[in-house]
Structure 1
Amino acid sequence: DSDAEKMRQRESWITIQRSHAIANAIPVLSCNRVGFEADSSGAMPGIRFWGSSFVCGAQGEMLAEAGTQTEEILYADINHHRTKEVRDIWPFLRDRRIEYYSDLMKRYCD
């Protein structure tokens, strides 16, 4: 993949992880390997992992971020009171319309 494609993939991974935090109103800790790992089969040189592990709060706000080049240990304070506040002020799950979910399980809707 091109460098631009790799960057898009990294950004997409970060975005989807943060969206899980937002949709569920809960902090998310996302871990990813970092560095180069050779292909033991020899079929290709190997793969470079982009790192970028992070901790985000209940609204997807970044609380701690690791880099893209070296292993790191992240520390973050997670405010449980803030998580409850977010759930109270933005009740995303409460407002679901689950009565309409059954169509999502069908190959096509009648």
Structure 2
Amino acid sequence: MTNSGSTGGTRPTEQEQITERVNFITEQRSVIDQAKGMIMFLYGIRSDDAFEMLRQQSQQHNVKLVLLAGQIVEDLVGLSRSSTSLDRLDAHGLLVTAHERIAGVAARQLDGASSAE
């Protein structure tokens, strides 16, 4: 009898755990790639330079890069929906202050708590 696909309190198989972890990593990379693409568009820069901007913000403010990227995506999508034209200065302001809007989540992750809260 296998655990494949079952949920009723049984432990996931090793393969299911691996699949779950790969899916989680893929989702995180997707968010980072979305943020990179938006930054590339806003600033007219290459992928490596956009990632470097994200990395610098992440390190400067001691915030996980994936959280920062997610906040940037959320902010820029919101900005694009709320205005008729995307103002580069507004977008830049959102980029460099994204860490402030995720401070609570970032603090919980540093303390080892779940990001799902």
Q: TM-score, normalised by structure 2?
A: 0.27
More strand by share: 1
TM-score (ref. length: structure 1): 0.28
